Amino acid sequence: MRLALASDAWHPQVNGVVRSLSATVERIRQRGIEVETITADQFRTVPCPTYPEIRLALGCGRKVTTRLDAFAPDAVHIATEGPIGWATRRWCRKRGVPFTTSFHTCFPDYVAVRTGLPVDWFWPVMRRFHGAASRVFAVTPTLANELQARGIGPVHLWPLGVDLGLFSPNAEPAAEMAKLPRPIMLNVGRVAVEKNLDSFLSLDLPGTKVIVGDGPALADLKMRYPEAVFLGALHGRELASAYAAADLFVFPSRTDTFGLVNIEALASGVPVAAFPVPGPIDILGRDGMGRNGGALPIGAVDEDLTEAIQRAMTADRTACVAEAAHYEWDRCTDAFLSGLAPRPAKVAGWDQPKASAVAELVMP
């Protein structure tokens, strides 16, 4: 089995999309499947306007074509809607190769936030890009329903996962957070306008607000909220230590499709407070009990973020860890592989998913 995965989001970018894709590729390779990644780090790039950390490949069409012709993939998955994604889509269309796509980021919402233009102006581009795919991967049922309402589908549910060995309540708490006034309320992610961090940082609450991450809004937020602690971008064990030192994770974003950091927090035994929007609500549930039959709260969602924070403070840390266990990466890898659309000819080594499994995951 030979899988080509095309993505404009890849290392050295630091975000949930990159972490999710790289973890998936690693586990797919461990299963003996050959994976060719076609990613932005392999091309000459320029900074994306308003997103300088994201690099856009220049004139990548010919090289993408050459790479795909040489690799002759049995299945193609396109993870992003950038230049590499469009070039790979063109290759598939010209050669009659079926492909699948992912909807990782609500770019229409992001662009609307940054430009002030109506969000509906940007959805036609998304429909065109994903419309030719055999299936579109979505990470939550709420996102799947929105995509279908927008005329995008069929949708395949691909829940993301977390490294339960790294993110754990047994991680050593970050020393730089040990003496901070409690409760320590943590946020991890890109420091940018679409993350809605003002809604969190402007709250009058006891304790300490800690921000882990980098981005274009960092300097402005540090100036306007000098009482908050900004630790910059952390990775690996340092990031796990920051979670382990926190009392609560606060996720004020209204535009994320999932929020992998929410699962990382839960795996670390840290309850989550958020707005009742797609992503958090798919993880926490409206009652804060999670989506997998838990009997104790793992956090809270509320349109009043202060109320969500106060309720989440009483959540059960052991229940948080138990809920996160449902997002183990092998299960998520199974879902990814079952949604692919291999070429019609029988592929050696390709374990076709059972029809019943696909029926559970594919939304018409």
Residue 262 sits in the same domain as residue 295: yes
Q: CATH number of the domain at 127, please.
A: 3.40.50.2000
How would you write the pLDDT of the chain (364 residues) with one tens digit per residue? 899 999 998 988 777 788 889 999 999 999 999 999 999 999 999 887 766 767 889 999 999 999 999 999 999 999 999 999 999 999 999 999 999 999 977 666 656 666 777 778 888 999 999 999 999 999 989 889 999 999 999 999 998 899 999 999 999 999 999 999 999 999 999 999 989 999 999 999 999 999 999 999 999 999 999 999 999 999 999 999 999 999 999 999 998 888 999 999 999 999 999 999 989 999 999 999 999 999 999 999 999 999 999 999 999 999 999 999 999 889 899 999 999 999 886 444 555 444 333 334 444 3
The DSSP code for 328 is B
Same structural domain for residues 280 and 350?
no
Full DSSP string of 84-139: HHHHHHHHHHHHT---EEE--B-HHHHHHHHH---GGGTHHHHHHHHHTSSEEEES
Residue with tokens 């960092």: 218
Q: Is residue 166 domain-resident?
A: no
141 and 189, same domain (yes or no): no
Is residue 192 domain-shared with residue 305, that is, in the same domain? yes
Question: First-to-last CA distance in the chain?
Answer: 27
Report if residue 284 sits inside a domain.
yes
Judge whether 169 lies within some domain. Answer: no
Cα–Cα distance, 79 to 137 (Å, whole number): 9
Do 105 and 196 lie in one domain? The reply is no
Dihedral sign computed on CA atoms, order 103, 63, 18, 194: negative
In the three-class reduction of DSSP (H, G, I as helix; E, B as strand; rest coil), residue 344 is classed as coil
In this structure, the answer to whether residues 120 and 230 fall within a common structural domain is no
Are 153 and 239 found together in one domain? no
Distant-in-sequence, close-in-space partners of 94: CB < 8 Å, separation ≥ 6? none
How many C-beta neighbours within 10 Å does residue 14 have? 17
Q: Which long-range contacts (CB under 8 A, 24 or more apart) does 286-290 make?
A: 288/312, 288/315, 290/319, 290/323
Judge whether 170 lies within some domain: no
How far apart, in whole angstroms, are the C-alpha atoms of residue 271 and residue 359? Answer: 33
Residues 286, 184: one domain? yes
Please indicate, yes or no, whether residues 320 and 196 belong to a single structural domain of this protein: yes
State whether 319 and 349 are in the same domain.
no
The total number of structural domains in the chain stands at 2
Residues 288, 321, single domain; the answer is yes
> Are 144 and 7 part of one and the same domain?
yes
Domain of 206, in residue numbers: 175-327
